[in-house]
């Protein structure tokens, strides 16, 4: 039996496949195949790729939310949903379903949206029990959920909900409304708002919270922020100050939820998921409440495709790493990468299975020598992104403490989910933010290609890290296959090795 999990129809469509031993055979983003960032459509190419990893023709399809309940919420929020939204089969696309089912029509199992987030987190975590916190914009009606989770004597994952908040009171919708307020795209560019926060000051924080937040304790808001705030909200206030204040408020709200979870749940282990868990600045605070923290590298809705499949399987998954998508076969080109880094200082790599999640972790990466002042402008020129946005370092894990202070509660930063303070910011201006923090990827002794590259780079230069940013053509999702890599090479004149 293979379990196919699907999240699609809203944004960040994705598909995952696991077998009946808990092995994750495939997990990928549809956007990497149809080249539409955050696409709400599943496409034939990802279905074909996923099917090539299936080990059984006996399959079950699991969908990440409950269409009927979501339809009712959409009616309530005035979104005018179409009738076809009532059917998971219609949302996925009958043609794609026909392909997945090999013509044999079967039941599509549907799951609660927040439970899919919870399962993606808990069933990939190393814990036997955990308190699971889910915070996103909206599930069907849920916006925050706290569960206690454990495995029974047969190894079946169990979830019991301890507390929740519902639409329209939503931390995610608040942050998206502020994203829109500063002229960025909600449900897409929240990470830019987070990056802007370091440049602002908190002058408007009192006005912002007085006007919008009803109760920090109960996580309630004065208005429905689903449609954003009026254009004249905090008129004339600097956008960086809005970003800074929004981040302060969101951190206070998240802290209150995590504190509540600590109080209600009996476990010392925290599993955290939902789109808000991508806020790596706020994630530094989780260690104030928990010593053990697990966030799946893909905690948003795309990751819920794996959560839905996990609910179908029912037990712990065999999690090893985030390299679960499309494969570009071949040995990791370590020596050639070193040659380019030594001569041109910058090189692309597209090798092995693509990352499942929003971060490039060395399989679809643009790598550069992080030392010196010039490299930041050089990479920015290629990426065409706002100058205030820093790049990230990838470092041999055992040297992390020499260069960065990873926040308490985090034993490592393998999936770039938390910011760390850089101890020597003057030496590495390209990989630190305005506030001297970095979003570090630490690489353990795991036998991976990126590990070998860093080890050899260290022997050659005495520097245990590289600059690492995602390999993508401007405005497009990350490179997926070799044809994408060729297009990147042609457009920017940067070698991409496979």
* Nearest partner of 30 among 20, 45, 48, judged by Cα: 45
* Binding piece for Fe ion, criterion CB under 5 A, among 45-53, 223-231, 295-303, 429-437: 295-303
Q: Distances in Å between the alpha carbon of 68 and those of 144, 239, 375, 384, 472?
A: 20, 39, 51, 42, 37
Number of Cβ within a 10 Å radius of residue 101: 17
Q: Does 49 bind Fe ion (CB under 5 A)?
A: no
Nearer to Fe ion, 241 or 301 (CB): 301
Q: Which residue has the tokens 């590259």?
A: 453
Question: At its nearest, how many Å lie between Fe ion and the CB of residue 423?
Answer: 36
Q: Which stretch binds Fe ion (CB under 5 A): 128-136, 305-313, 318-326, 355-363?
A: 128-136
CB of 113 to Fe ion, least distance (A): 6
| 3-state SS, residue 226 | helix
Tell me the residue number closest to Fe ion, measured at CB: 136
Q: Tell me which stretch binds Fe ion (CB under 5 A): 245-253, 277-285, 299-307, 314-322.
A: 299-307
Task: Please identify, using beta-carbon distances, which residue of 70 and 364 lies nearer to Fe ion.
Answer: 70
**Parallel, antiparallel, or unpaired for β 420-422 and 323-328?**
unpaired
Q: How far is the CB of 410 from Fe ion (least distance, A)?
A: 23
Nearer to Fe ion, 62 or 364 (CB): 62
Does residue 31 bind Fe ion (CB under 5 A)?
no
Q: If binding is defined by CB under 5 A, does position 12 make contact with Fe ion?
A: no
- Write the interaction track for Fe ion spanning residues 56-95; mark x where CB under 5 A is met and - where it is not: ----------------------------------------
Token code pair at residue 448: 């991976």
Task: Count the site residues for Fe ion by CB under 5 A.
Answer: 2
**Shorter beta-carbon distance to Fe ion: residue 60 or 301:** 301
Q: Do residues 62 and 312 touch, judged by C-beta distance below 8 A?
A: yes
484 binds Fe ion (CB under 5 A): no
| Crossing angle for the helix pair 205-212 and 239-264, to the nearest 10 degrees | 60
Contact 65/116 with Cβ under 8 angstroms?
A: yes
Residue whose C-alpha is closest to residue 103's, from 147, 59, 144, 52: 59
DSSP-H helix ranges across 82-170:
88-92, 94-100, 113-122
3-class DSSP assignment, residue 19 = strand
- Taking CB under 5 A as the rule, which mask of x and - marks residues 131-150 in contact with Fe ion? -----x--------------
Nearer to Fe ion, 133 or 248 (CB): 133
Q: Which is nearer to Fe ion, 171 or 258 (CB)?
A: 171
Contact criterion met (CB below 8 Å) for 364 and 331: no
Establish if 301 lies at the interface with Fe ion (CB under 5 A).
yes
- C-alpha–C-alpha distance, residues 60 and 84, integer Å: 22
Residue closer to Fe ion (CB basis): 253 or 379: 253
Binding positions for Fe ion, 261-280, rule CB under 5 A: none
> Which residues of the chain form contacts with Fe ion (CB under 5 A)?
136, 301
């Amino acid at each position: 039996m293979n379990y196919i999990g699907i999240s699609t129809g809203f944004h960040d469509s994705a598909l995952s496949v696991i077998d009946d031993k808990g092995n994750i055979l495939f997990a990928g983003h549809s956007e990497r195949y149809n080249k539409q960032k955050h696409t709400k459509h599943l496409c034939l190419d990802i279905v074909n790729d996923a099917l090539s990893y299936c080990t059984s023709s006996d399959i079950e399809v699991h969908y990440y939310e409950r269409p009927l309940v979501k339809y009712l919420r959409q009616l309530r929020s005035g979104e005018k949903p179409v009738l076809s939204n009532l059917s998971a089969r219609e949302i996925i696309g009958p043609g794609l379903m026909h392909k997945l089912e090999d013509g044999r029509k079967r039941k599509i199992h549907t799951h609660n949206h927040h439970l899919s987030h919870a399962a993606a987190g808990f069933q990939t975590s190393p814990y036997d029990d955990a308190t699971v916190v889910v915070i996103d914009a909206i599930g069907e009606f849920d916006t925050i959920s706290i569960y206690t989770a454990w495995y029974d004597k047969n190894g079946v994952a169990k979830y019991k909900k301890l507390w929740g908040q519902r639409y329209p009171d939503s931390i995610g919708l608040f942050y998206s409304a502020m994203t829109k307020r500063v002229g960025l795209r909600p449900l897409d560019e929240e990470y830019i708002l987070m990056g802007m926060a370091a440049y602002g000051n908190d002058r408007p924080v009192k006005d912002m919270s007085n006007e919008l937040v009803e109760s920090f304790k109960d996580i309630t808001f004065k208005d429905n922020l689903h449609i954003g705030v009026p254009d004249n909200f905090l008129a004339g206030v600097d956008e960086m100050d809005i970003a800074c204040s929004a981040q302060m408020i969101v951190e206070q709200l998240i802290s209150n939820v995590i504190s509540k979870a600590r109080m209600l749940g009996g476990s010392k282990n925290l599993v955290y998921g939902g789109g808000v868990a991508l806020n790596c600045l706020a994630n530094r605070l989780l260690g104030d409440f928990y010593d053990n923290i697990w966030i799946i590298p893909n905690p948003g809705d795309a990751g819920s495709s794996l959560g839905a499949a996990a609910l179908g399987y029912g037990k712990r998954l065999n999690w090893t790493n985030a390299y679960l998508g499309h494969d570009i076969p071949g040995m990791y080109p370590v020596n050639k990468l070193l040659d380019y880094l030594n001569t041109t200082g910058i090189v692309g790599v597209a090798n092995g299975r693509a990352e499942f999640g929003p971060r490039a972790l060395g399989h679809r990466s643009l790598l550069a020598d992080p030392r010196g002042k010039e490299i930041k402008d050089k990479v920015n020129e290629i990426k065409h992104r706002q100058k205030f946005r820093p790049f990230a370092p990838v470092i041999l894990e055992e040297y992390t403490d020499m260069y960065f202070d990873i926040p308490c509660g985090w034993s490592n930063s393998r999936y770039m989910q938390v910011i760390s303070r850089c101890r020597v910011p003057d030496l590495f201006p390209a990989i630190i933010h305005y506030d001297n923090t970095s979003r570090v990827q630490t690489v353990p002794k795991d036998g991976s290609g990126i590990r070998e590259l860093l080890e050899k780079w260290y022997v050659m230069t005495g520097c245990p890290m590289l600059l690492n940013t995602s390999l993508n053509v401007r405005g497009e999702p990350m490179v997926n296959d070799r044809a994408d890599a060729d297009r990147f090479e042609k457009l920017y004149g940067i070698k991409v090795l496979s």
